[in-house]
A = this chain, B = another copy of it.
Amino acid sequence: MTHLIQELKQVLEEHQFSTNDTVLEHHSRDESYHKPAKPELVVFPETTEEVQVVVKAAESFGVPIIPFGLGTSLEGHVIPCGRGITIDFSQMNNVLEVREKDFLVKVQPGVTRSQLNKELKKYGLFFTVDPGADATLGGMAATNASGTTSVKYGVMKDQVHDLEVVTPDGSRIHTGSMARKSSSGIHLNSLYVGSEGTLGCITELTLRVYGIPEHIMVGRAAFPTVNDAVEAVVSILQAGVPIARVELVDDRSIQQVNRYNNTTYEEKPTLFLEFHGNEAGLLQDVDFVKAIVQEHDCQGIHFEEDNAARVKLWEARHQLAYAYIHSFPGRKLMVTDVCVPISELAGAVNHARRVIEDLGLQAGILGHVGDGNYHALLMLDPDLPSEAAKAEQLNEAIVEYALACGGTSTGEHGVGRGKMKYQEQEHGSALAVMEKIKQALDPKGIMNPGKLVPTRRTNV
């Protein structure tokens, strides 16, 4: 490591690397229950060229690299497995270009979602992907993040037109173009989106953005049971209503919302709904939705009248994880994250609730139910191994159910360390293809080892 630092000192300035214990500690953890581990060194590059220098040095010394955005991961992506250098992208945080006529924006990986939206607002544009946390766009691309709006606008993968990536040999490549579509070459955009830093470092992103909708309507619908709420969602989707967001928040989570945000929402299983479009079309859609939710015993649907109330509702939803964290000091967040076919959603949620009760756990259920993606949310006491074991049992039962009905072990949080053990069961013989790709593109296994796919380190 000393030799490596010597080499980096020739290019990076003093303030661009650190072995300070507080800095290492900050880079040892994410927002989840996964056990922290410190890197040996943290570097703070400011340009792609500097990232290339760091990667080349790490490659020649055979030292692993862990890319780091803001550490909002929930599956341990940024926690070193063994030794390693963390590359912190927080100093590469410029919005480089807004191509408003092309609905494209070019950003550095350290730009956060809210920072981008603040800039885009000047142009009447917005970036759709909204995972709750104010994550960096580099991190969001690395995990193929999504969130509340993906039912209408798609996930991170759908927004990435081009990435600049520094590959493990220090080369700089572009994975796409500025064109809306392309049939040229092997598609690399989607290969690097969701690759969790295991194939290279993202150093620039060109993302699709949208015009702020002419009209937005936001509502809340309360139901007697979670099952009624989920079945109402399935009916809305099957009716073909182009809904922009539809979020399930169960009664337990609504209690957290009310406590943390001083709201007085009815403490029943609730759907938060949003519609985008022109005024006439929206009114017709909303009437249709009102009729559908009545058929599922909706106990009241309320549309917010003003913008402040709309903002408050979505803030409440976004801060839900933090509301739980705030209510249980000293405990650690564990969130399950499966996604199932829509037709299996009610069954999957009911199963999860039964397992939660059988295990005697206290967990909220929420999620982006328009995609079939739901979360069970638990606050763990890290000093109680029996509780952690039960939580793990719950996670396993939920994943098993999802895989058995054609779903996935992770809808949006990624594999990281937490979902590694389900990869073989989920992907079967396709895992061998993933391993071949990893081996071909990172033969020394230096890129974020221990995450996403098994690494065969052949040369270090």
Contact = CB atoms under 8 A, between A and B. Distances in A.
B371 A181 contact: yes
B184 A423 contact: yes
Nearest to A167: B433
Contact of A342 (B102, B214, B234): B102
B101 A234 contact: yes
A409 B237 CA distance: 37
A28 interface: no
A224 interface: no
Interface string A431-451: 111101111110000000000
B408 A184 contact: yes
A427 B279 CA distance: 44
A122 to B, nearest CB: 16
B441 A433 contact: yes
Contacts of A340: 178-179
A446 to B, nearest CB: 16
Given A278-B284, A437-B441, A427 B103 contact: no
A342 B101 CA distance: 7
A443 to B, nearest CB: 9
Contacts of A214: 240
Contacts of A155: 181
B280 A181 contact: no
Pick the most buried of A174, A181, A433: most chain B CB atoms within 10 A of its CB.
A181
A436 B427 contact: no
A456 interface: no
Contacts of A240: 210-211, 213-214
Contact of A452 (B167, B175, B185): B185
Given A101-B342, A179-B339, A408-B177, A187 B144 contact: yes
Contacts of A239: 211
A372 B440 contact: no
A405 B405 CA distance: 46
Given A184-B410, A191-B191, A211-B240, 18 more contacts: A99-B343, A103-B237, A146-B181, A157-B190, A158-B158, A177-B426, A179-B372, A179-B373, A179-B402, A182-B408, A184-B422, A184-B423, A184-B426, A185-B452, A186-B434, A211-B238, A433-B441, A437-B440
Interface of A: 99, 101-104, 143-146, 150, 154-155, 157-158, 167, 171-175, 177-191, 193-195, 199, 210-211, 213-214, 234, 237-240, 242, 277-285, 288, 337, 339-343, 371-373, 402, 405-415, 419, 422-423, 426-434, 436-441, 452-453
